[in-house]
Structure 1
Amino acid sequence: MLKSIALALALVSSGVHAQQAAGPDWGACPDDKIGMQCADLQVPLNWQKPDGRKITLKLGRLKSTGTSEGSVLVAYGGPGAPGIGMTQRLGDWWAKLRERMDIVTWDTRGYGEQFGGTSTGLPCTWTRVPLPDFPADDADFGRLSDTNRGYAEACRNKDPELFANMSSADHARDMEAIRKALGDAKLNFYGASYAGFYAQAYAGLYPGQVRTMVLDGTWNHSTSDWNGELEEMAKSNEQFIDRFFTWCASHDCQDVPRLWRGLVARADRTPIPAKSAGIAYTGRDLQSFVVASSRQGPDTWPALAESIRKASKGDASGFVPARGARYPDQTTGVTECVDWPRPAKRADIDASIARLRKVAPNAGTANTIATASLGCVGWPTPVTNPPTALPKGLPPLLGAGAWGESDAVGRVVAQVPGSSVVSFDGPGHTLYGANPCARDHINRYFTDRTLPKPGTKC
């Protein structure tokens, strides 16, 4: 009798292991037109409670067109994104890499139907809201905290447990579950934009499980000096404007740098009206517009010069974007607010403003996480994935990026001996999809673990 029970248990156990070894149960994706396969993967909602509630991750796979040598897991950022739908639209990107590797992606947790995703979602929509003003006093800071908390609670109340478990570290733990389900000995990962935060979290959690890792057009979340990193962001923005001003020196806008400083100072005192839209912009608003336009390169600079001239005469209509006059605005969500350190009091904000304006007099605080994190003041969940330097023991990593981004990703991979960065000396956001030279280097790294020489430009 005991032998029969033992045999039955052994058979059940071997069946479970055989199912795990077989990997996900792949089938055709709904409405697929490129041959992508889909599968479900159950993972813990809270990785600190592995036996608790489970959620579903939807996986997608483009099988290798040759003999597969393994998988490359792909994430496009967001901070969360429908990886399956995006890969179906961008399938041509991966044609060369697919000659030797399977391409695998997933719809990230929490970002459900309203974001185009099919994994378990948080059933609420993050709306774009005006970027808050800097609080003028402690009472202002308290009002900002209350406003943000009310905004967040509307989403949190839909599913408090999922709301609290959507950091980049949670995505990284999902990545490890995907790696195990695929049966890959180690992870190959391509992370674009915000997905570079997933990569950095994974590298910190599982340094021994990394085979290759590409961070394309991302920012540095792997630092023990967050204030210093914020200053580097501001310096990068200052460089964008400096390039524009340098261009003006040899074109018909030599007057613009002088006009710009005066315009910002005046707008900080009294916002400049945009008469075509019936609104007005502060100095920080204008700095945000100019940083964004400057980083787009010379094609946008003649119009930018004219917009500054027009605003200096009292009409900021040239800065009103097509997508809405409320911009600069933001969509601060649950991932950002548990990844980014947030100011605990008004004095923290004041100190940050002073530092950034000192290192970036033209750009100021605009378009940095120091400004964006204003939306996280008062957030009802703590920062669970704070910035942390990378651990020892990682294999060489590969970074990629255009203006500014290559510098930021360079600060990440410089922590790992033997790593390299492919840079593009021009505007843009991420390189793999738009830069064939960078794509070739990245593909070679994934397949052969061959890194480009340091300082490689594409």
Structure 2
Amino acid sequence: MANRHLRRLITLVAVVALAPLTVAPAIAEPAPASRLDWAPCPDGGGRSGVECATLDVPVDWSEPRGRTVTLVLGRLKAEGRARGSVLVGFGGPSGGYVRALGDLFGEAYGGLRRRMDVVTWDIRGGPGNLGMSTPRLRCDWRMAVVPRYPRDEAEYEQLTATNRADAEKCRSTDPELFDNMDSASNARDMEAIRRALGEPKLNFYGASYAGFFGQAYARLFPHRVRTLVLDGTWSHSNENWQSELAALAQDHERTLRRFFDWCAADTSCALHGGDASRHWREVTARADREPIPAPSVDADYSGRDLRALGLLAALRGPERWGRLAEAIRDAERGDASGFAPAGARLPYPAVPAPGAVECLDWPRAHGYQRLSAMTDQLHRTAPHVGASAPLPMNLLRCEGWPTPVTNPPQPLPRHLPPLLGAGAWNEIDAVGRVVAQVPGSRTIRHEAAGHTLYLDNPCARAHIDRYLTSRIMPEPGTEC
């Protein structure tokens, strides 16, 4: 399972749609950056001695002489003579990377630091009210219930109007910054950091959503990549977005089949002796017709809610499967409380809002008919999950967004140096679809559930460290 510190930082927030892709305008490489002046961090360096520096970059990279953002960088110096730097991104996308650096890459993970400085930065805009970079985008960063799929054109118009109003509250505080929060802008910030560090090429480790920053960097600056690790991320590098959605749906179907197979083999499963997949289909179909009460959390769960919450439970692996089977059994008896996420403030499927990074990265449906066609296709492709997986559901928050998509998915260039992907069984297929585009790339698979490998899997960490420091790849088919 993900490290407890990383879990607080990483929130899977991704969105999808079917509109044709547009290409972001070409932007020249930034001018050489000024030297970084490292000093104690404003709130101290902690036990690991994190140092801080600042770097000014354009708010809008197409206007390099315009307003600037002051990025705050953190560094853990190499324990010996540094042979370069590795830039790390922890996901989110949130801004509190610098304060977490010492905890995540300090004493417990000193192998990399024997040879390299470890550097991170608080991303532009401070999403989530985290981080020290300025200016911060003043938004109501909250968890919001994922809206229902609209049933007709009128409900779609209501959805887009609500989303637009919520986003405009945020955008009105700083329209220029709001419009330049996408992963490509963050990737250009990474290039400025590389230049300021004086590194001839970039070494980058990207966990979860920070993997989108890495994919954007690989597209924009392929000749500047030395090593690039994508750990527990998802593909933003595809030519046919509908095909990627279908592939993700099939990934989730395989997760549920693991649960069904476990239930058939394990006598402790509350549904053992029956067909768990049939129980699943019947209870979700019943909830589609009439939501099932969850009195312990004062909620009523539709079929979409049960599919979404059940998938999240299944993704956690065998440690959660027993309770999931009991939740299905109890829902059949009229009480769906067992599907409620433990400790969550909102009992329903929720997503961080307003999604100022995500809604600029992922294409949108731009219409009820397209959205409806997408959901129908996913239900055919993945009948146990349908459109209730995180990506298609979270897209709903971006329909009607006031700023167009500025960083749509695009394939990676093939002339990149080999990349390294890592992930648990529930995410390695998506990672693999990214790195497979680059000849010579490899993946590290962990045959258990979880999210990202580096911090909690010593075997994967050793392979990743070896790649980042010496560009030595693991053998094909490596499992950790």
TM-score (norm 1): 0.93
1:13 counterpart residue number: none
**Residue identity opposite 1:32 in structure 2:** G
SS in 1 for 2:49: coil
1:436 counterpart residue number: 458
Cα distance in structure 2, aligned partners of 1:426 and 1:350? 34
1:93: Cα distance to partner?
Answer: 4.9
Aligned ranges 1:195-344 → 2 under 5 Å: 195-252=210-267, 253-254=271-272, 255=274, 256-321=276-341, 322-332=343-353, 333-344=355-366
Cα distance in structure 2, aligned partners of 1:365 and 1:127? 23
- 8 Å contact kept, 2:297–2:347: no
Cα distance in structure 2, aligned partners of 1:93 and 1:369? 33
**2:83 aligned with 1:69, yes or no?**
yes
1:8 counterpart residue number: none
1:188 counterpart residue number: 203
Match of 1:137 among 152, 160, 171: 152
- 8 Å contact kept, 1:422–1:438: yes
1:24 counterpart residue number: 36
**Residue identity opposite 1:357 in structure 2:** H
* Mean Cα deviation higher: 82-91 or 379-388: 82-91
2:477 counterpart residue number: 455
Output one character per residue of 1:41-74: Cα deviation in whole Å (capped at 9) or x when no partner: 0000000000000110000111111111100000
Q: Name stretches of at least 5 consecutive residues in structure 1 with no aligned partner.
A: 1-19
Cα distance in structure 2, aligned partners of 1:93 and 1:418? 31
1:7 counterpart residue number: none
Aligned ranges 1:25-174 → 2 under 5 Å: 25-29=37-41, 30-33=43-46, 34-90=48-104, 91-111=106-126, 114-174=129-189
1:350 counterpart residue number: 372
2:447 counterpart residue number: 425
Cα distance in structure 2, aligned partners of 1:51 and 1:391? 29
Output one character per residue of 1:190-216: Cα deviation in whole Å (capped at 9) or x when no partner: 000000000000000000000000000
SS in 2 for 1:390: coil
2:400 counterpart residue number: 378
**Residue identity opposite 1:137 in structure 2:** D
1:94: Cα distance to partner?
Answer: 3.6
* Mean Cα deviation higher: 303-312 or 350-359: 350-359
Cα distance in structure 2, aligned partners of 1:401 and 1:209? 25
More helix by share: 1
SS in 1 for 2:387: coil
Output one character per residue of 1:335-359: Cα deviation in whole Å (capped at 9) or x when no partner: 1100011111111111111111112
1:427: Cα distance to partner?
Answer: 0.4
**2:467 aligned with 1:445, yes or no?**
yes
- What percentage of residue pairs aligned between the two structures are identical? 51
1:367: Cα distance to partner?
Answer: 2.1
Change (3 A) 1:303 1:193: same
Cα distance in structure 2, aligned partners of 1:109 and 1:22? 18
Cα distance in structure 2, aligned partners of 1:131 and 1:35? 41
1:109: Cα distance to partner?
Answer: 0.4
Larger Cα Rg: Structure 1 or Structure 2?
1
1:88: Cα distance to partner?
Answer: 2.0
Cα distance in structure 1, aligned partners of 2:207 and 2:140? 23
Q: Cα RMSD (Å) of the superposition?
A: 1.4
Change (3 A) 1:136 1:311: same
- 8 Å contact kept, 2:167–2:402: yes
- 8 Å contact kept, 2:422–2:445: yes
**Residue identity opposite 1:389 in structure 2:** P
- 8 Å contact kept, 1:131–1:375: yes
Output one character per residue of 1:292-313: Cα deviation in whole Å (capped at 9) or x when no partner: 1111111111111111000011
Q: Name stretches of at least 5 consecutive residues in structure 2 with no aligned partner.
A: 1-31
2:12 counterpart residue number: none
**Residue identity opposite 1:306 in structure 2:** E
Change (3 A) 1:116 1:178: closer
**Residue identity opposite 1:363 in structure 2:** V
SS in 1 for 2:53: strand
- 8 Å contact kept, 2:95–2:125: no
Cα distance in structure 2, aligned partners of 1:439 and 1:423? 12
1:23: Cα distance to partner?
Answer: 2.3
- 8 Å contact kept, 1:422–1:456: yes
SS in 2 for 1:376: coil
Cα distance in structure 2, aligned partners of 1:415 and 1:21? 32
How many residues get paired? 439
TM-score (norm 2): 0.89
